[in-house]
Structure 1
Amino acid sequence: MKFVHDPHHDGSPDHVGVEDGRARLRVRVPGGADAVYARVVEDGEAVMLPADPVRTAGDVVWFEAAVPQRPVVTDYRFAIVRGNRYTWLDQEGAHGHEVTDAGDFRLITGPQPPAWVAGTSVYQVFPDRFARDDDSVGPPAEHPDWALPRSWDDEPAGFGETAAREYFGGTLDGVRRRLDHLAGLGVEVVYLTPVFPARSTHRYDASTFSEVDPLLGGDRALRALARAAHERGMRVMGDLTTNHTGDAHEWFVTAREDPGSAEAGFYLFTDHPDGYVSWMGVPSLPKLDYSSAELRRRVYGADDSVLVDWLTGPDPLDGWRVDVANMTGRHGAQDLNREVSGEIAARMREVDAQRGGDGSWLLAEHFHDAGPDTHHDGWHGVMNYAGFTRPVWTWLNTAPEGVRYMRTDSPLPRTGAEEAVRAMRATNAGLPWRVLTHSVNALSTHDSARFRSVVGDAGRQRVGVAAQVTLPGVPFLFAGDEIGLEGLDGENARRPMPWHRPETWDRETLDAHTRLLSLRRELPALQTGGLRWLDAGPHHMTFLRTLGGQVVLVHLADGPHETLSAACADLDVSVVEVLLRGGRASARTDGKVELDADGPGYVIVVGR
């Protein structure tokens, strides 16, 4: 697939400007056009607004249309007319046929998410497996009655009955002791999976939201970690289960004991006290019912609500990742998801205004198509499994035996880079640009196999890392990715960090993470710049990130391919420099750019 001569528009500052309630939309049209229109949907009806040519560079003509912003979201696409032929340009790309509104560009009206998010990076910590208070490695001498104590060198079980009870003894003070490692790596947000008391090491079955689990060090340890991170210029994000609690949660205990209590209205009882709706039918995770005004008040509405309490006070958290956000407020015919997410976002802005900070991040877990849940002022971004993780997995995987895909028994699907690009373009077409840039690009998480196990070798892993650092979205590392940790599923992947065995670390992969994250911090185009695809084939994908006068060309390959060549004029590049080369890919520059690969590798080139 070659895209270099396709018309282009995205939601970046080069293409969208907003002033006095009007949006100025700019579209790049190679070869020019007889006419260009912005098709805008107003109250369900399409309106065609003419765009005027405003700039010419070689054979490229830029057109601009002034569009009134709609109250919530402005939906639009472009019609590019040449003779009697129309090309429709939407967020998925250019089409020579009629298209639906599903792929339209979307500009959300209203307050913007925190500006710092798009330029940051995230490091996920599963507290039980990251680091202990001390350097001991034997089974914890003290442990709760539900726990199965493990040595630090033990390999966690895969999916099964015992997985959630395996107790390795990591603590929040242990995380604080290792912040220098994170700072050296260059990550800026520490995301902690739940820290509230529970009867599992994943802690998604919280028994209260009012305190930190004493096994992790209690409230003192969380505040101390946040303070130490803030002193380094880093942030700390918590994990909140808005969809459910644990069955030992104080609210659920009261709800079962007293059917007339307010708490009884927090849950979906089918036959009180033993019949109730739970997450995916798991009895220990009873589902919350947001038709209860009192539940909303306690979760996020009141000044002492769960959400607000941990974002305020001394050494607060800097945001929330919301567990199974896509299921929150949904059950059967009931769908309160948009309402609840909008109220949470508004409440977080109120808290931010009161504490005078630069904003708190609201990140939603979403395994599938997140588009319909993001077309309003709600979740700032999503965990973009559908638009990043799975396309990259299906391209770079080596069909490893035993790795699960979306908790099926089927093998991992395999595609070429071209199909991965199609998947990313199609899936991300549903996300407004501001949501895409505030979403995360993860290769591994605590809910998936490790990417190293998916791809089978270090070279292919590093190509994936280059993708997550250079494509729109926030790079997201699961602790241990940077040293080549492995794992076959979401439980087995939760392996302890081998601090006491540094000889096992993949130092080249650690160095690649450090260099790529550093490059992203240095190049604004990789943080907030637009995305223009240039080429894709069975073994490569090539694209530009652009912002103002900065142009960054990225070439990713998993194997040999024919030489790709493009004149710098076609790429809007005047000066070209190869900034970073990894693996078995290469670039040459001399009035044009030529890209080769004889194996997995990446090349990053900058121009102006």
Structure 2
Amino acid sequence: MKVKGLAVIVLLLAALASGCVSPGSSTGTGTEMSSLTDISAQYPSGGIRLELPRGNYTPLYLGPGEACPPGRVPVVFRYVPGNESVGSVSLRGSFNGWAEWPMELNNGTWRIEICLAPGRYEYKYFIDGQWVKDMATGNGGNPVDPDADGYADDGYGGKNAVRIVNGRQGVEIEFDPGNPAYLSVADNRTVVRIGVKLGTVRSAVLVTDGGNYTMELQLWWDSGEIWRAEVPFVKPFSYYIAVTSADGELLAALNTSESPFFRFDGVDRFPQLEWVSNGIAYQIFPDRFNNGDESNDPLALQTDEFWFNELTDERPILSDWSDPITPLHCCHQYFGGDIRGITEKLDYLQSLGVTIIYLNPIFLAGSAHGYDVYDYYRLDPQFGTEEELREFLDEAHRRGIRVIFDFVPNHNGIGHWAFLDVASRGRESPYWDWYFVKEWPFRLGDGNAYLGWWGIGSLPKLNTTNPEVREYLIGAALYWLDFGFDGIRVDVPNEVLDSKEFFRELRERVKGRHPDAYLVGEIWTLSPEWVQGDRFDSLMNYALGREILLNYARGYLSGEAAMKMMGRYYASYGENVAAMGFNLVDSHDTSRVLTDLGGGSLGDVPSNESVQRLKLLSTLLYTLPGTPVTFQGDERGLLGNKNHHDEQRYPIQWDTANWEVLDHYRALAELREKTPALRSSKIRFYRASGGVMAFFRGHDDEVLVVANSWRKPAELELPAGEWRVVWPENRSGAVLSGAVEVPPVGVLVLEMIGP
């Protein structure tokens, strides 16, 4: 709702004080301000002059140089020397280990402002290179710091000053408009969020020069909450945030005392890729997906790392598609999967609703996994020709499927032409500085002679601080995007040297030429610093899939515990980032999800309960913001234990499948397609208790997802109004109100009919 004019802002704060603004609740019901009227028709120009609120309110300055981190308080230390000539003053105390913090002179007063946690601190001033002996009388018989709260013996016959810092008992607001977690453009809306301590806020309003927007409680966890407002446009506006605390205190979150209003310039510097947000992704491990051309199978053996490695006499093997696993299965047992084989299965993938394919490495390398690249500009012949690759991309694009490739900038293989030149010529090689050689001559494969990934001699680490290396790698990324790929998944970016600058340049050059390209980093932990608009669009979200959703689906986490963990997760990332989430639970690097859920190992028959838990988990994955990612074969109920020679990578046996699981994944794709709210950027929590957690999806909270991971049914009180069941299919169309029984190990998806 929009309201205009200074008088209305004053009314707003009065309304906040009187409780006329609905605070939202743990059920997530936000209400418009009933005491205010939309008078925007009186302002055809569409804007008002934003002014500071009047009345009894507390300003909280959060802008540069003003705000302290949550839990800390700004404290000012002053020294007025009078008629004395003083050249330098610094602050030393128990808060900084008695180190020296210079103070600044302004209008005859030496001053410093620092952020301190609540507590008791002792300190002294260090004036012109000398300690003040007695802070109580050292200024001509007067206190050296007029704001000191007391004094204490310093142990040397003098006195330290004492400062007592009292923490705020009310609201502490976290807000940084430069961080997409707090301000982002998502689904063509401007989203503004604040973080506060749990239970400290009754209501909040985003006050702008274009109108006011009620904020709603969106997320929560053990110690914090996120309050959210969305502005239904992307254009410049000035704003501040009016907050009413739980005990009725009025506050205004402002920029700085000199420039009190925040300003959004209307420029989306971190665009959301809607083809990702609306997508369904599928990961393919090429050697183990489908063999479309048996004539190229032997080519895999010709360049295998074992032929180069001087520390082993092992040899690679070529197996038939259904041969048993050997100890070489991880890396040097080949099965013949190729690009033509993927092209043959595009109709199958389309039947699963797949719109994004992620390919594990396909460039010339020395292993079945391909992460030891020999040539970043050459397709590995074992996978086919460039003509077949182009045909695959064209056929995928014709079906509305985009393709991203795996990029390995941290290390390459010992068969890479530059590394072979170093091994042969030593310091005379022009590529000597591409690597980190400890001793030469060396034997290929000797991880003690040069730096390798995790000390592995077959994976020499690249010197990405070298401009030539950087140009070679980024040039390769651009080459394949120019060829027709749609995005890049980056292997172990956290281990790349000078990673921030490397990926800043990669993003700048990629987006400059291919602004719609998708950049995904292999980061396994909650790490928002990688998705601030300067490096990646998204991360491989193991932090969501494995740490939260998998453990919830196993029954290890209660609904409340899982929701709190999700609260921290979604609070950490911008909504644009969440919308582009690369959401996976398993991959080529983990055991298969059905195995993790108790289904057994390769060759076993999974239990009914493990299948039901897989359905629960996959349904959650398809109903959360971002794109759900399926590792090849999971949709067919495949099993595989990573600890047994990476058996999760075993070839898909196309003549068998768990048809119940396959039908389930196809139905999930239909659910996501017919329910636009499930493809939106917004999630908002509703309730959690026992094994149940429930959350809203859609910008109007029009869809409610309710999950129960426990083995017994549970009852959930529904939000007001009538709700229609859209999932599972056997209950589709049923109309509910009041309360609903949630089945054990199951998920309900409900769509609002009306109030």
Normalising by the smaller structure, the TM-score range is 0.7 to 0.9
Secondary structure of the 2:438 match is strand
Given that 1:484 and 1:506 are in contact with CA atoms closer than 8 Å, whether structure 2 keeps it comes out as yes
Q: Does 1:477 align with 2:630?
A: yes
How much has 1:92 moved relative to structure 2? 5.8
1:444 to 574, 586, 595: 586
Secondary structure of the 1:320 match is strand
> 2: distance between equivalents of 1:468 and 1:226?
27
Secondary structure of the 1:42 match is coil
2:723 to 549, 570, 576: 576
Given that 1:36 and 1:81 are in contact with CA atoms closer than 8 Å, whether structure 2 keeps it comes out as no
> What letter corresponds to residue 309 of structure 1 in structure 2?
Y
1:346-361 matches, within 5 Å, as: 346-352=508-514, 359-361=516-518
Given that 2:575 and 2:681 are in contact with CA atoms closer than 8 Å, whether structure 1 keeps it comes out as no
Given that 1:326 and 1:373 are in contact with CA atoms closer than 8 Å, whether structure 2 keeps it comes out as no
> 1: distance between equivalents of 2:359 and 2:325?
19
Secondary structure of the 2:509 match is helix
State the TM-score, normalizing by the size of structure 1: 0.76
Given that 1:122 and 1:477 are in contact with CA atoms closer than 8 Å, whether structure 2 keeps it comes out as yes
> 2: distance between equivalents of 1:84 and 1:461?
38
Given that 1:239 and 1:323 are in contact with CA atoms closer than 8 Å, whether structure 2 keeps it comes out as yes
Q: Does 1:462 align with 2:615?
A: yes
Secondary structure of the 1:321 match is strand
109-118 or 444-453, which deviates more: 109-118
2:505 to 338, 343, 350: 343
Q: Which residue of 2 aligns with 1:312?
A: 482
How much has 1:72 moved relative to structure 2? 8.7
> 1: distance between equivalents of 2:30 and 2:534?
26
Q: Does 1:45 align with 2:67?
A: yes
Q: Does 1:120 align with 2:284?
A: no
148-157 or 219-228, which deviates more: 148-157
74-83 or 245-254, which deviates more: 74-83
How many residues are treated as equivalent by the alignment?
Answer: 513
Q: Which residue of 2 aligns with 1:148?
A: 317
Q: Does 1:542 align with 2:542?
A: no
How much has 1:121 moved relative to structure 2? 1.2
How much has 1:176 moved relative to structure 2? 0.4
How much has 1:154 moved relative to structure 2? 2.9
The structure having more radius of gyration, on CA atoms, is 2
259-268 or 280-289, which deviates more: 259-268
Q: Which residue of 2 aligns with 1:388?
A: 545
Q: Which residue of 1 aligns with 2:455?
A: 281
Q: Which residue of 1 aligns with 2:536?
A: 379
Change (3 A) 1:603 1:280: same
> What letter corresponds to residue 447 of structure 1 in structure 2?
D
Given that 1:238 and 1:321 are in contact with CA atoms closer than 8 Å, whether structure 2 keeps it comes out as yes
Q: Which residue of 2 aligns with 1:5?
A: 27
Deviations 1:289-348 (CA, angstroms, capped at 9, x unpaired): 221112111111xxxx101111114xx11111111122222xxxxxx2222222111111
Q: Which residue of 2 aligns with 1:251?
A: 418
> 2: distance between equivalents of 1:294 and 1:285?
19
Change (3 A) 1:98 1:446: closer
Deviations 1:151-193 (CA, angstroms, capped at 9, x unpaired): 2123445xx6552101111110011011110011111111110
Change (3 A) 1:363 1:273: farther
> 2: distance between equivalents of 1:309 and 1:262?
23
1:200 to 367, 374, 377: 367
> 2: distance between equivalents of 1:525 and 1:37?
37
Given that 1:245 and 1:285 are in contact with CA atoms closer than 8 Å, whether structure 2 keeps it comes out as yes
Q: Which residue of 2 aligns with 1:241?
A: 408
> 2: distance between equivalents of 1:148 and 1:213?
17
> What letter corresponds to residue 584 of structure 2 in structure 1?
A
Secondary structure of the 1:269 match is coil
1:58-207 matches, within 5 Å, as: 69-70=177-178, 77-78=194-195, 93=220, 110-133=269-292, 144=301, 146=304, 147-157=316-326, 163-207=330-374
Deviations 1:86-117 (CA, angstroms, capped at 9, x unpaired): 99999862677799xxxxxxx99614142321
> 1: distance between equivalents of 2:733 and 2:674?
21
How much has 1:279 moved relative to structure 2? 1.2
Given that 2:725 and 2:732 are in contact with CA atoms closer than 8 Å, whether structure 1 keeps it comes out as no
Q: Which residue of 2 aligns with 1:429?
A: 571
Change (3 A) 1:447 1:84: closer
178-187 or 251-260, which deviates more: 251-260
> 2: distance between equivalents of 1:591 and 1:439?
33
Given that 2:422 and 2:432 are in contact with CA atoms closer than 8 Å, whether structure 1 keeps it comes out as yes
> What letter corresponds to residue 494 of structure 2 in structure 1?
N
> 2: distance between equivalents of 1:164 and 1:81?
49
1:451-530 matches, within 5 Å, as: 451-455=593-597, 456=599, 457-489=610-642, 491-499=646-654, 501=655, 504-530=656-682
How much has 1:397 moved relative to structure 2? 3.0
Change (3 A) 1:415 1:82: closer
Q: Which residue of 1 aligns with 2:496?
A: 328
1:602 to 729, 747, 750: 747
How much has 1:587 moved relative to structure 2? 10
Secondary structure of the 1:276 match is coil
Change (3 A) 1:36 1:319: farther
> 2: distance between equivalents of 1:97 and 1:454?
31
> What letter corresponds to residue 213 of structure 1 in structure 2?
D
Change (3 A) 1:590 1:37: farther
Change (3 A) 1:172 1:368: same
Q: Does 1:265 align with 2:392?
A: no
> 2: distance between equivalents of 1:361 and 1:96?
34
Secondary structure of the 2:366 match is coil
> What letter corresponds to residue 724 of structure 2 in structure 1?
E
Deviations 1:383-433 (CA, angstroms, capped at 9, x unpaired): 0001222212222238xxxxxxxxxxxxxxx33333232333224433232
Secondary structure of the 2:376 match is coil
> 1: distance between equivalents of 2:561 and 2:532?
26
Given that 2:301 and 2:318 are in contact with CA atoms closer than 8 Å, whether structure 1 keeps it comes out as no
Deviations 1:33-71 (CA, angstroms, capped at 9, x unpaired): x989987443573599xxxxxxxxxxxxxxxx9x99549
What residue ranges of structure 2 are gaps of 5+ in the alignment?
1-23, 32-46, 48-55, 71-172, 184-192, 205-214, 227-263, 305-315, 443-448, 600-609
Q: Which residue of 2 aligns with 1:57?
A: none
Secondary structure of the 2:693 match is strand
> 2: distance between equivalents of 1:288 and 1:272?
17
Given that 1:91 and 1:429 are in contact with CA atoms closer than 8 Å, whether structure 2 keeps it comes out as no
> 2: distance between equivalents of 1:554 and 1:84?
26
Given that 1:241 and 1:322 are in contact with CA atoms closer than 8 Å, whether structure 2 keeps it comes out as yes
How much has 1:378 moved relative to structure 2? 1.3
> 1: distance between equivalents of 2:434 and 2:535?
22
> What letter corresponds to residue 383 of structure 1 in structure 2?
M
Deviations 1:557-597 (CA, angstroms, capped at 9, x unpaired): 222143111232xxxxx5521111169x9997444342321
> What letter corresponds to residue 513 of structure 2 in structure 1?
V
Secondary structure of the 2:374 match is coil
Given that 2:563 and 2:688 are in contact with CA atoms closer than 8 Å, whether structure 1 keeps it comes out as yes
> What letter corresponds to residue 553 of structure 1 in structure 2?
L
367-376 or 232-241, which deviates more: 367-376
Given that 2:220 and 2:564 are in contact with CA atoms closer than 8 Å, whether structure 1 keeps it comes out as no
What residue ranges of structure 1 are gaps of 5+ in the alignment?
10-21, 23-33, 49-64, 100-106, 330-335, 354-358, 399-413, 569-573
> What letter corresponds to residue 583 of structure 2 in structure 1?
N
Q: Which residue of 1 aligns with 2:119?
A: none
How much has 1:544 moved relative to structure 2? 0.8
> What letter corresponds to residue 506 of structure 2 in structure 1?
I
Given that 1:80 and 1:89 are in contact with CA atoms closer than 8 Å, whether structure 2 keeps it comes out as no
1:224 to 391, 404, 422: 391
State the TM-score, normalizing by the size of structure 2: 0.62
Change (3 A) 1:606 1:86: closer
Change (3 A) 1:83 1:530: closer
